[in-house]
Amino acid sequence: MREFDYYRAGSVRDAAKRLAASGNAMLLAGGMTLLPALKMRLNEPSELIDLGGIDELKGVKLSRKGAHIGATTTHVEVAGNVELRAAIPVISQAAESIGDPQVRNRGTLGGSVANNDPAADYPAVALGLGATIITNKRKISADSFFVGLFETALGTGEMVTEVLFPLPQRAGYAKFPNPATRYALVGVCVAQFKSGVRVAVTGAGPSVYRLEDFEEALEGDFSSDALDGLSVSAANLNDDMHASAEYRAHLVGVMARRAVAMALD
Amino acid sequence: MDVQVSFTLNGKMVSAAAGSATLLVDLLRNRFGLTGTHVGCDTSQCGACVVHVDGASVKSCTMLAAQIDGCAVDTIEGLSGNGELHPLQQAFHEHHALQCGFCTPGMIMSAADLLKRNPRPSELEVRDWLEGNMCRCTGYHNIVKAVRAAAGVMGEEGS
């Protein structure tokens, strides 16, 4: 790694001020993606602002609006929260499917959504549930937040502080993990609300996205049979050494059916 | 820049100055001479560098030394006490759960975290937990046996 300055922030205000003041600083949460990226010199920040000491960014709270999860809450804390598992089990199931135990002990929700890896699990759950990403400046709907490959709507000096997941009637997340990394080759989150059904796909395209024709079919009949006859085009899907675009297109249908079955279970 | 860190290392308070880009594993090995923690892949996949930070297993190649200020760090060197092997170490010995031994410290530190959370894991739970620890010699079979044997011993002792 190239040298950088290290700063341990004491509060969200402190971190945001520091971030805004420096042209090339980056935020460090769990570091599970950032530190490997620094080793490969994919990023060369002048300073890392460590959020690890900020208590106000940690924790899970339930309210009538849904589940409020602080940005630096780790995957293991999310997976182990009993009230959350009872209220919105799909979040817990996605959290416990990430990486391996050591990654789950360090990696954070905020880090995952802010990074927007095209194969990450949390973006699918956030988009599938129609979550609200709360920053130090504003509230952003998941539909507007995930912009493209490793790209989000976050602006300069802006940081994720919390994600609010609304309470679905039922939901499921199924993924076909890459056997080496446990990232999703394809992962699909399906969620049913009074207002309609949402289907979000990760791993298949350059960024997480919604599948409108699946949503319409499931709104008419929330069962995996409702997806019969629907096919997914391989055009513009990821194509690499791990899976072809055609195979990923096939997996989208398979994982969507599994996610519906999990939601109905 | 250098960052001053104070932390508990295997039960003792220590302090050190570390470069801001220094990894925890390099601090442990180079500054404190604790070479039981290995660097295998250096990409947080293989698990040879697993140590405990505040009781939770982490990959020390993917943490900055600067991040451990105020934490408690436990390494493989701190696992045995009074000249006696830890039940996991004893079980790895008895079940021939290693060949070259390079992955072993990380395997044992990872398994120790599992047994704290789940004192009686099934074979499937052990295999699933060891997802982040790679062994290129044993085929994992004897490692899984050793972890389950240690769980039995530790259960009998009520620890």
ipTM of the complex: 0.94
Q: Which of B128, B129, B125, B115 is nearest to B159 (CA)?
A: B115
The pLDDT of residue B53: 98
| Phi/psi of residue A44, nearest 5 degrees | -135, 70
Higher pLDDT, B152 or B32: B32
Evaluate if residue B157 carries a pLDDT over 60. Answer: no
Q: Which residue has the tokens 């490997």?
A: A36
| Residue B125 touches chain A, beta carbons under 8 Å | no
Using an 8 Å CB-CB cutoff, list chain A residues near B43. Answer: 36, 39
Record: contact A6-B50, CB cut-off 8 A: no
B87-112: average pLDDT: 97
Which has the closest alpha carbon to A264: A89, A146, A85, A71? A89
Asked if B20's CB is within 8 angstroms of A6's CB, the reply is yes
Among the partner residues B57, B67, B113, nearest to A50 by beta-carbon distance: B67
Domains and CATH numbers, chain B: 2-78 (3.10.20.30), 87-156 (1.10.150.120)
Hey, are the CB atoms on A106 and B58 less than 8 Å from each other?
Answer: yes
Model confidence band, residue B32 (pLDDT cutoffs 50, 70, 90): very high
The answer to whether the CB atoms of B44 and A2 lie below 8 A apart is: no
CB B42 to CB A48 under 8 A?
Answer: no
Q: Which of A41, A96, A100 to mutate to test the interface with B (most CBs of B within 10 A)?
A: A100
Classify strands A5-8 and B12-19 as parallel, antiparallel or unpaired.
Answer: unpaired
Give me the residue from B64, B114, B132 closest to A103, CB to CB.
B132
Q: Do B47 and A32 touch (CB under 8 A)?
A: no
| Residues of A whose CB is below 8 A from B113 | 101
> What is the percentage of chain B residues whose pLDDT exceeds 90?
92
Digit-coded pLDDT (tens) for A175-233: 999 988 899 999 999 999 999 999 999 999 999 999 999 999 999 999 999 999 999 99
CATH fold group of domain A170-264? Enolase-like; domain 1 (3.30.390)
A32 close to A74: Cβ distance less than 8 angstroms: no
CA dihedral B153, B156, B157, B159 (to 10 degrees): 90
What string of pLDDT tens digits covers the 265 residues of chain A? 889 999 999 999 999 999 999 879 999 999 999 999 999 999 999 999 999 999 999 999 999 999 999 999 999 999 999 999 999 999 999 999 999 999 999 999 999 999 999 999 999 999 999 999 999 999 999 999 999 999 999 999 999 999 999 999 999 999 999 988 899 999 999 999 999 999 999 999 999 999 999 999 999 999 999 999 999 999 999 999 999 999 999 999 999 999 999 999 9
Q: Which of A79, A80, A69, A91 is nearest to A160 (CA)?
A: A69
Q: Do A102 and B42 touch (CB under 8 A)?
A: no
Test the B interface: residue of A49, A102, A104, A183 with most B CBs within 10 Å: A102
Closest CA of chain B from A61, distance in Å: 23
Q: A191, A194, A201: which is closest to A253 by C-alpha?
A: A201
pLDDT at B12 over 70: yes
Q: Taking residues B66-90, report their average pLDDT.
A: 95
**By the 8 A CB rule, do A72 and A59 touch?**
no
> Is A265 part of the contact surface with chain B (CB cutoff 8 Å)?
no
Q: Are B66 and A50 a contacting pair at CB < 8 A?
A: yes
Give the architecture (CATH level 2) of A1-56.
Answer: 2-Layer Sandwich (3.30)
Task: Report the alpha-carbon distance of residue A200 to residue A129 in Å, rounded.
Answer: 9
Whole-angstrom Cα distance, residue A16 to residue A48? 12
Judge whether residue B139 has pLDDT over 50.
yes
Reported as a pLDDT band with limits 50, 70 and 90, residue B158 is: very low
pLDDT score for A103? 97
User: What are the start-end ranges of the H helices in A40-81?
Assistant: 75-79
Are β-strands A60-63 and A66-70 bridged in parallel, bridged antiparallel, or unpaired? antiparallel
| A 65-84 residues with CB < 8 A to B | 76
Contact list, B57 vs chain A (CB under 8 Å): 101-102, 105
A42 touching chain B per CB within 8 A = no
A180 to chain B, any CB pair closer than 8 A? The answer is yes
Residues from chain B that touch A26, judged by Cβ atoms under 8 A, are none
> What is the spatial distance between Cα A66 and Cα B79, in angstroms, rounded to a whole number?
42
**Domain limits, chain A:** 1-56, 170-264
Q: Please, which residues bridge with residue B58 across strands?
A: B51
Indicate the length of chain B as a whole number: 159
Alpha carbon A169 to its chain centroid, in Å, reads 20
- Closest Cβ opposite residue B43 in set A36, A100, A101: A36
Q: What is the DSSP letter of B64?
A: B
Chain B nearest C-alpha distance from A249 (Å) = 27
- For residue B129, give the nearest of A5, A28, A101 by CB distance: A101
